[in-house]
Structure 1
Amino acid sequence: MYFHNPLKNDRCAVSEEDILEVSVWRGTGDTGEYETFQVPARESQTVLDVVTWIQQQIDPSLSYRYACRVGMCGSCAMMVNGEPRWTCRTHVKKVTRDGALQIGPLRNLPTIKDLAADMDPFFDKWIAAGGVHTPSRSRAEPIAEVSPEDPGRVEANKGIECINCSVCYAACDTVANTPDYLGPAALQRAWTLYNDSKVEDRQAVLDAVSKNNGCHNCHTQGSCTQYCPNELDPLSAIAGLKRASAKSFLFKSKEDRQ
């Protein structure tokens, strides 16, 4: 365990009362441990500010991700005191517990190094759930016009702001207990495409998500909706897929009997 005294080298003088005890996960794969740093507490300080300070002032080998720093890309998502969050939007004063922070890589994903999670399984499931748009028209044909008031368009728009940050995936206990489960982000994307009239084969989307480890594996706990930083509602999208796939199954069964 490593401790650093920020009073020694920090440019801005701070008192002993203005120190954060920050535990940061260090390691690769399944091997590692939490390392403790003492970090100066600042006004309007975010968790990403804390991680960046440690990397710049103490240990340049600390690995983590970020890009925009303004809550648009989602690449800075990490576990903060056991909860998945965008660290650039998470103010330290709102999440510290007795002046302490614990920061780790996103849950339910392999760890590449330190705070950087491997996103490949997340995107593999996104594709497996039919997340790739298959247009109903070619480039040579006129663009299909869809009214903003079209019910399908309205429903599809509800999930269009998903930026695949994987916070919902990290929050999902079903993924934790069933690693092959497609997960809320992939299923929300599938629901968006299912409601898009420009998609060529909407039934293919339902077929992809109604297999084993698809939408019917959701336990409806709602952590995905609770933690979504963009205030989207993956839980309702999954419920929509459950209804649509059940209706499709009953319709096919009726056709087979006739």
Structure 2
Amino acid sequence: MTTTLDKTEGLGPAAAGASPYITATFRIRRFNPEVAEEATWEDFEIEIDPKERVLDALHKIKWEMDGTLTFRRSCAHGICGSDAMRINGRNRLACKTLIKDINPEKPITVEAIKGLTVLKDLVVDMEPFFQAYRDVMPFLVTTGNEPTRERLQSAEDRERFDDTTKCILCAACTSSCPVFWNDGQYFGPAAIVNAHRFIFDSRDEAGEQRLEILNDRDGVWRCRTTFNCTDACPRGIEVTKAIQEVKRALITRRF
């Protein structure tokens, strides 16, 4: 006896023709200083593939539902760092956060990162953050004549500071730090990470100067080792470890 099988039998819902889309609610903290002094939460219900990213959802909301929604983004591939925001209470890059990974069965909260002044919706004033970055001299300092060839460095010397070269200045680490929340004068983890990158570079000659900058009352000693910064880093940098190495260099003057 010949049995005819249903071609859809045993196949998943997508293969059987079911829609891959789900209905997700995005609860966004809105703030417009031209409209009101206080921020408010606003819900947006959208149909979206859970394999898409939070950034895709924000685009859909802005382009199809409310063009006044304001947020930063540029490369959309986790390199520029411009779309850092708090998603379900944690600092993340919207372009690297898949909707399926953040429990879309419940409202997904999206708000601006903490510790920096909110200008509008999800956009904050980054100037204090970048000023701290500039203050630690994030560039190679050398003396003498300009070389006629590249400055050579061993693989071992390069590995010494390899981790801290990965920083994309998204501010996710700094804006996750409780010390920074309470005192915006603190340099913050990102500035210390970028100081570390040059302090431990064998070609650089300004390590002592950077250490003195970070020896300030608002410098590296303010760190309370909560590991929030390490957890928040989208690049996987061991931020707390870098901060501890800078502290150790300040004490031993060996770097």
Structure 1 distance, partners of 2:202, 2:173, is 26
One-letter amino acid of the counterpart of residue 140, structure 2: H
Stretch deviating more after TM superposition (169-178 or 240-249): 240-249
- Aligned twin of 2:87: 80
- Aligned twin of 1:21: 25
8 Å CA contact 2:142–2:205 kept in 1: the answer is yes
- Aligned twin of 2:241: 236
RMSD: 2.2
Note closer, same or farther for the CA distance 1:138–1:112 as it changes in structure 2 (3 Å cut): farther
Structure 2 distance, partners of 1:113, 1:135, is 42
Matched residue pairs, number?
A: 234
TM-score, normalization by structure 1: 0.84
1:198 is displaced (CA, Å) by 2.1
Structure 1, unaligned runs of 5 or more: 1-12, 250-258
Deviations 1:205-244 (A, max 9, x none): 1001111111111001111111211111111111011111
8 Å CA contact 1:136–1:198 kept in 2: the answer is no
Pick aligned residue for 1:145 from 143, 147, 152? 152
- Aligned twin of 1:194: 199
8 Å CA contact 2:115–2:182 kept in 1: the answer is no
- Aligned twin of 1:4: none
Runs (4+) of structure 1 moved beyond 4 Å? none
DSSP-derived class of the 2:211 partner: helix
1:140 is displaced (CA, Å) by 5.3
Q: Does 1:213 align with 2:242?
A: no
Mapping of 1:103-252 within 5 angstroms? 103-139=110-146, 141-150=148-157, 153-248=158-253
DSSP-derived class of the 1:165 partner: coil
Note closer, same or farther for the CA distance 1:162–1:137 as it changes in structure 2 (3 Å cut): farther
Structure 2, unaligned runs of 5 or more: 1-17
8 Å CA contact 1:169–1:224 kept in 2: the answer is yes
Note closer, same or farther for the CA distance 1:234–1:14 as it changes in structure 2 (3 Å cut): same
DSSP-derived class of the 1:49 partner: helix
8 Å CA contact 1:28–1:111 kept in 2: the answer is no
8 Å CA contact 2:136–2:213 kept in 1: the answer is yes
DSSP-derived class of the 2:205 partner: coil
Deviations 1:76-134 (A, max 9, x none): 11110111101111011211364211111111111121111221111111122232432
Mapping of 1:24-43 within 5 angstroms? 24-28=28-32, 31-43=38-50
1:14 is displaced (CA, Å) by 7.6
DSSP-derived class of the 2:95 partner: coil
1:180 is displaced (CA, Å) by 1.1
Structure 2 distance, partners of 1:137, 1:147, is 21
- Aligned twin of 1:9: none
One-letter amino acid of the counterpart of residue 22, structure 1: F
Which structure has the larger Rg over C-alpha atoms? Answer: 2
One-letter amino acid of the counterpart of residue 27, structure 1: F
TM-score, normalization by structure 2: 0.85
